[in-house]
């Protein structure tokens, strides 16, 4: 696991975009795993600029998003489907049919998770998985627990995660209580992982990550097991 520190969020985001663009140039039909949240917004903005300038082409790539609230309608202002389209997909030259996001409207959540896993396998697996970090060390909606599930699954949101996400909703009561998320196995199967970390609220999780101990109480610690993982961070600990 290689860790790079940056003086600010802007320079970290630029580097993340540079890495993603480089991977696409190396394999124009690559499969790209993507996160939501505030941390990747700078990276998405840079990639949009690069796409419009003709420096990166998204026309042949396939994407898989990490997670989605459940249940939630796609046109809900807080759905990850809408987030991704508003902040990234609608501004680049990607084939809309090549975008994959867990369906928060699926009538059968477990069946949706199984189908999502099959789609990833059918696409040949994820070449580059970009992930963020929650303040409590979660990745996607893989929360600290006594055990973690390997594949895409339905999970409950912890109060800590609901608290962290309530700023996007009218109140904490409006935050969905469940989510569909790739499992740790799904994430670790990616050929490469890019972990981007920003903000003081992540400082303690970063400290724990750098200890090198692998524990289900800190899901991000499993990144240590990956053979090709890079970490970009704008807080030095």
DSSP assignment string, 57-80: --TT-EEEESEEEES--TTSTT-H
Tens digits of residue pLDDT in 120-146: 999 999 999 999 999 999 999 999 999
Residue 185 pLDDT > 90: yes
Structural domain tally of the chain?
1
Active-site residues, by number, are 67, 136, 138, 143
The reported pLDDT for the residue numbered 28 is 97
Confidence of residue 118 (pLDDT cuts 50, 70, 90): very high
Residues 6+ apart with CB under 8 A from 212: 224
Residue 166 pLDDT > 90: no
What is the CB neighbour count within 10 angstroms for residue 52?
A: 12
The reported pLDDT for the residue numbered 92 is 98
Residue 171 pLDDT > 90: no
Residues 6+ apart with CB under 8 A from 211: none
Return the percentage of the chain with pLDDT > 70, whole number: 100
Tens digits of residue pLDDT in 80-112: 999 999 999 999 999 999 999 999 999 999 999
- The domain in which residue 47 lies consists of 2-233
Residue 162 pLDDT > 90: no
The reported pLDDT for the residue numbered 170 is 85
Domain CATH code at residue 155:
3.40.50.1360
């Amino acid at each position: 696991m290689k860790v790079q520190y940056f003086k600010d969020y802007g320079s970290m985001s630029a580097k993340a975009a540079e890495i993603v663009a480089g991977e696409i140039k190396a394999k124009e039909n690559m499969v790209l795993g993507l996160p939501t949240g505030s941390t990747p917004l700078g990276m998405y903005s840079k990639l949009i600029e690069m796409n419009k300038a003709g420096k990166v082409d998204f026309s042949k790539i396939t994407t898989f998003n990490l997670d989605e609230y459940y249940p939630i309608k796609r046109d809900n202002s807080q759905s990850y489907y809408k987030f991704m389209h508003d902040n990234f997909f609608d501004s680049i030259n990607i084939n809309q049919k090549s975008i994959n996001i867990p369906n928060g409207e699926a009538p059968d959540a477990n069946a949706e998770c199984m189908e999502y896993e099959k789609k990833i396998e059918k696409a040949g697996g994820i070449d580059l998985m970009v992930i963020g970090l929650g303040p409590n060390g979660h990745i996607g909606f893989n929360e600290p627990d006594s055990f973690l599930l390997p594949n895409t699954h339905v999970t409950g949101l912890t109060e800590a995660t609901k608290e962290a996400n309530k700023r996007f909703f009218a109140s904490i009561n409006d935050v969905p209580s469940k989510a569909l998320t790739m499992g740790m196995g799904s994430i670790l199967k990616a050929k490469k992982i890019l972990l981007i970390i920003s903000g003081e609220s992540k400082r303690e999780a970063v400290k724990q990550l750098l200890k090198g101990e692998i524990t289900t109480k800190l899901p991000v610690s499993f990144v240590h097991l990956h053979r090709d993982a890079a970490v970009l961070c704008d807080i030095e600990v």
